[in-house]
Amino acid sequence: MNLIVARPEGLYCPAGDFYIDPWRPVESAVITHGHSDHARVGHARYLAHANSAGILRSRLGEITLQTLPYGEPVLHNGVRISLHPAGHVLGSAQVRVEHGGEVWVASGDYKLEGDGTCEPFEPLRCHTFITESTFGLPIYRWPSQAELFADINQWWRGNAAAGRASVLFCYAFGKAQRILHGVDASIGPIVAHGAVEPLSRVYREAGVNLPATQTVAQADSAAISQALVLAPPSAQGSPWMRRFGNYSDAFASGWMLLRGTRRRRGVDRGFVMSDHADWPSLQRAIDGTGAERVFVTHGSVAVLVRWLRERGLDAQGFKTEYGGEDVADQAAVLRDSGKPVDAIQPARDATS
């Protein structure tokens, strides 16, 4: 029995008559998290984790939204639905669907290492697991949280000592808050772009400990040279950047592991940082489910499907419209490299 099938609107549960992260307007949508490729405007009714409410309303406006805490089930047309931590961003959830003795889990996007800004990933036993594969290649192996923030702090501290602002480009929802939570705020003031601060406010309201930030207008001009500046990638090269004078810049992304990405971004430094599972984590997550069947969505689908089949699992790809910023960034890297995905090599100096 297929509890979840692929339709033009998105991933659909026929028994319960609802969709999971649909990309076209539907009556009932269960949302795994607030990133724009998974949470779209136009659905009649939304179901999501309680900590996603602030993000969803800030991005989608007034919507009809039902929220659940983690682990609390709800029956929808006889199908038992519950949400469980995915460890991706605030409020991110795996969707557990149970009906007729079958259990399926749609993971959305996830990562296994806890970062202090959202509930850590919870392994769920199931018959069928739907997994992402954004970074589904053996080259993708992330540094630990401790290693990552030691590098960021060292870069910021060195720039501050030289009288340069440290501009760190990162996605406004998820990565920016992880950076805020993890850096050593005693080094200097932190300036947040206008796209970052409203989302950080939602994190603070959910009880996540983030240091105070300032807008550019609030920041003391003499202290700008000591500041860490968090800005979305769209700010790069904009007039907003002129306020920081002779600054050093960097980009935080999992794609910084690839040769050429830092060059393409035109930044001084690259920090390997992702809110998605790396290759070993994908393997551990799938093994932890005990699932005999695995559907793979967005990313390096063919590679992960082949790896799973070689290990005796029933694996196949699910065509979706997920990926958003991450997959678009990867596509640009592959286009610039002129090489097939399997030929892409890690950058040896990505965190140096």
Counted residue by residue, the chain has a size of 352
Contacts of 133 (CB under 8 A, 6+ apart): 282, 296, 297, 298, 299, 300, 301, 303, 304
Closest listed residue to residue 50, CA positions, set 67, 71, 32: 67
Q: Is the dihedral of CA 202, 203, 206, 207 positive or negative?
A: negative
Helix axes 197-205, 53-60, angle to 10 degrees: 150
Neighbours of 44 (CB within 10 A): 11
Between strands 45-49 and 65-68, the pairing is parallel
Using DSSP, state whether 9 is helix, strand or coil. coil
In contact, 259 and 280? CB cutoff 8 Å: no
In contact, 40 and 31? CB cutoff 8 Å: no
Q: What are phi and psi of 185, to 5 degrees?
A: -70, -10
Q: What is the pTM of this model?
A: 0.90
Neighbours of 20 (CB within 10 A): 22
pLDDT at 113: 96
Per-residue tokens: 350: 């990505």
pLDDT at 347: 34
Instruction: Spell out the per-residue pLDDT of the chain, length 352, in tens.
Output: 799 999 999 999 999 999 999 999 999 999 999 999 999 999 999 999 999 999 999 999 999 999 999 999 999 999 999 999 999 999 999 999 999 999 999 999 999 999 999 999 999 999 999 999 999 999 999 999 999 999 999 999 999 999 999 999 999 999 999 999 999 999 999 999 999 999 999 999 999 999 999 998 888 877 899 999 999 999 999 999 999 999 999 999 999 998 777 677 789 999 999 999 999 999 999 999 999 999 999 999 999 999 999 999 999 998 888 875 554 444 433 333 344 333 333 333 222 2
pLDDT at 217: 84
Alpha-helix runs per DSSP H in the chain: 53-60, 145-161, 175-182, 197-205, 261-265, 279-289, 301-310, 324-337
pLDDT at 94: 98
pLDDT at 239: 94
Q: Map out the domains of the chain as residue ranges.
A: 5-140+275-321, 145-271
In contact, 107 and 94? CB cutoff 8 Å: yes
In the chain, the amino acid numbered 303 is V
pLDDT at 218: 87
Between strands 248-252 and 269-271, the pairing is parallel
Per-residue tokens: 26: 């539907």
Please give the CATH topology (third level) of the domain spanning 5-140+275-321: Metallo-beta-lactamase; Chain A (3.60.15)
Q: What are phi and psi of 133, to 5 degrees?
A: -150, 40
Per-residue tokens: 197: 């601060």
CA distance 168 to 248: 9
User: Is 145-271 CATH 2.30.30.110?
Assistant: no
